[in-house]
Amino acid sequence: MKKTAKKFAVLSSLLLVSAALAASPADTLVIQSAGDVPTMDPGVTYDTSSSAIVDNIYETLITYDGASLTKLIPLLGTKWTPSNSGKTYTFDLRKNVKFHSGATMTCNDAEYTFERNLVTNSGASGNWFIAEPLTGTQSNAADDKTVTWAKIDKSVECNSAGQLVFTLAAVDPAFLSKLAYTGMAIVEKAYSAKIGEWDGTEATWKTWIGKDLTGSELSKKPSGTGPYKLVRADANNHLLQAFDGYWGEKPSIKNVIRQKVPELAARQQALLRGDADLIEGAGRAVDEAQIKGKPGVTWVDDLPNTTATAIFMNEKIGGKGSSLLGSGKLDGKGIPPNFFSDVNVRRGFSYAFDYQGYIKDVQKGKGMQRTVLMPDSFPGYDSKVKKYTFDAAKATQYFKTAWGGQLWKNGFVLTANYRANTPASQTAMEILKKNIEAINPKFRVNIQSKQWSEMLADSRKGEEAMILIGWAPDYADADNFMYTFYASDGYYSPRANWKDASVDKWLKQARSTINAAERNRLYSLVGNRAYEQAPYILVPAPVAYQFHSSRVTGEGLTKATFNPMTSLYWKGLTKK
């Protein structure tokens, strides 16, 4: 292992700094991204950077069938049977599956995985959406006393035949889709306990309630059943190797190197030289101008986009966020913590964003201004809901009314953060800054870049004043977007701190019925109310595209096989 790790470290360094290297080896896939990888623990994986790696180290019970957003097929589970009017699901598990540690997967590992997710469920993870159908609440035992060990233990068990049995607290039509999410990947019980994770017993569960697993021992030393195993990782490099004991078809590509390369130009040159195979781009405007059509690059366009992105306006800025407030008052030298609690401020900002300009300049005309923060391809999307347009006169009108006229009279200084090394995010903030400051010389918006993992953590605690952040679906259902963004107890609520009693009522009604027409009606009500209250600035959704080295081919890299619900699976790739 030490010799292998040394070999990978040397190779990684060469690929990163040597312009003389003509091309990366055919048995090695090189991926370069702008940011870091917050975690490799499935139990807390809730961002695309982490899931891109975790999806290749670990595996879930079921997954999506090719490019389909609705058809699910077996993975570690070979068959599932619903019963009890949809409140019980019994899974047969795949035999002779090995973890990277060498141990054989059993039903106990699967049971432990889901119990661990329920015990550690917190705002840092996506386990709230699996906790709700299994325990009847999104909360953990510390926040909801109805969550007991007995309830957790009963919700997922192994029967005498070695089958995994889920017992739901209430019918959930999206339950199977939720099981396909990265965070539901199966982890090894004995190995986890050995390296210092929860041991899976009632005697110790209380000490692990709501624990943040981001920097867990399992994140540092993962052991999954997936086609690739981690060899070594540091702040800038993740080195992985094909797992010889993998139960499925052996990968064609033996080695994978994931590098953090903040500089866009360095990533672009690495791709064009052949040193890198997949890189994080900079948005359509930049990528089309600097990458599309270049020798050795394959460009795939007009792909489905199931993400939603917004500029958040936090109505209750707290904690370390006070450093972003300046004077902390509406005196022309800062903003108060509740600056965005005035709907007129939010409406003013919403009218100050140039949506069509963003589509033209950043998305090269290939973008869509949506009415709500959910994919227009999902049932429940209502195209008739009103949209904000760039209108300086209307923005001025609302700013003059905000805070009883004091905002217009005194002005303000606001500091907003965006993810470092992402030109599209930076441009969006620059557009907003320019237009806001043009309305009144007393208005100032300072924008600054911030490391992705830090911004995620701080925004989760309500410590960011204004940020741009997106959402990729965990499961293919409108609820995953509408509840996430608009519910006062939704995942993104701490980042915006917006609450509307009617919206909360409609969203709860929508997730408690399987009547599609009724759900659609309720989501339209939410959309119209959100337009009135303007809790977010809706960033136009791009038409998706991707590009990669022409040396690499395989599943997920073509329009026919691309699935926006999953990460790119390296096992389906070949390289020449």
| CATH number of the domain where residue 274 is located | 3.40.190.10
What is the pairing mode between strands 443-450 and 412-419? parallel
**What residues form DSSP beta bridges with 418?**
449
Can you give the residue range of the structural domain that contains 482?
308-542
Q: How far apart are CA 49 and CA 56, in angstroms?
A: 12
Residues 23 and 152 reside in one and the same domain: no
Residues 410 and 390 reside in one and the same domain: yes
Confirm whether 381 is domain-assigned.
yes
Q: What pLDDT does residue 181 have?
A: 94
Cβ–Cβ under 8 Å, residues 209 and 67: no
Residues 385 and 500 reside in one and the same domain: yes
Confirm whether 45 is domain-assigned.
no
Residues 367 and 444 reside in one and the same domain: yes
Cβ–Cβ under 8 Å, residues 255 and 530: no
* Token pair listed for 182: 């990265």
**17 Rama sector, left if φ>0, alpha if ψ -120 to 50, beta otherwise:** alpha
What is the pairing mode between strands 28-33 and 278-279? parallel
**Of 129, 215, 120, the residue nearest 453 (C-alpha):** 215
Residues 401 and 297 reside in one and the same domain: no
What is the pairing mode between strands 466-471 and 308-313? antiparallel
From the number of C-beta atoms within 10 Å of its C-beta (0-12, 13-18, 19+), residue 30 rates as buried
Confirm whether 230 is domain-assigned.
no
What is the pairing mode between strands 156-158 and 228-233? unpaired
Confirm whether 224 is domain-assigned.
no
Residues 152 and 98 reside in one and the same domain: yes
Confirm whether 274 is domain-assigned.
yes
* Token pair listed for 41: 């623990």
pTM, rounded to two decimals = 0.76
Read off the amino acid at residue 392.
A
Residues 531 and 426 reside in one and the same domain: yes
Backbone angles phi, psi at 319, to 5 degrees: 55, -135
Question: Which stretch of DSSP H or E encloses residue 301?
Answer: strand 297-303
pLDDT, tens digit only, all 576 positions of the chain: 333 444 444 454 444 443 334 589 999 999 999 999 999 999 999 899 999 999 999 999 999 999 988 799 999 999 999 999 899 999 999 999 999 999 999 999 999 999 999 999 997 788 989 999 999 999 999 999 999 999 999 999 999 999 999 999 998 888 999 999 999 999 999 999 999 999 999 999 999 999 999 999 999 999 999 999 999 999 999 999 999 999 999 999 999 999 999 999 999 999 999 999 999 999 898 999 999 999 999 999 999 899 999 999 999 999 987 889 999 999 999 999 999 999 999 999 999 999 999 999 999 999 999 999 999 988 899 999 999 999 999 999 999 999 999 999 999 999 999 999 898 999 999 999 999 999 999 999 999 999 988 999 999 999 999 999 999 888 888 999 999 999 999 989 999 999 999 999 999 998 878 788 999 999 999 999 999 999 999 999 999 999 999 999 999 999 999 998 899 999 999 999
Cβ–Cβ under 8 Å, residues 414 and 382: no
Q: How far apart are CA 236 and CA 37, in angstroms?
A: 9
Residues 264 and 315 reside in one and the same domain: no
In a 13 Å sphere around the CA of 290, the CA atoms on its Cβ side amount to: 16
Confirm whether 134 is domain-assigned.
yes
Q: What pLDDT does residue 16 have?
A: 45
Residues 397 and 443 reside in one and the same domain: yes
3-state secondary structure of 280: coil
Please, which residues have CB within 8 angstroms of residue 261's CB and are 6 or more apart in sequence?
16, 32, 33, 34, 267, 270, 279
CA dihedral 562, 568, 570, 576 (to 10 degrees): 60
Cβ–Cβ under 8 Å, residues 134 and 187: no
Q: What pLDDT does residue 145 have?
A: 96
Domain count for the chain, please give it: 3
Residues 403 and 464 reside in one and the same domain: yes
Confirm whether 226 is domain-assigned.
no
Residues 287 and 330 reside in one and the same domain: no
Cβ–Cβ under 8 Å, residues 57 and 218: no
Domain containing residue 139: CATH number = 3.90.76.10
The DSSP secondary-structure symbol of 326 reads B
Domain containing residue 343: CATH number = 3.10.105.10
**What residues form DSSP beta bridges with 554?**
573
Cβ–Cβ under 8 Å, residues 42 and 182: yes
From the number of C-beta atoms within 10 Å of its C-beta (0-12, 13-18, 19+), residue 357 rates as middle
* Token pair listed for 326: 């300046």
Residues 131 and 197 reside in one and the same domain: yes
Q: What pLDDT does residue 126 have?
A: 82
Place of tokens 């292998």: 4
**Of 221, 220, 228, 245, the residue nearest 27 (C-alpha):** 228
Confirm whether 41 is domain-assigned.
no
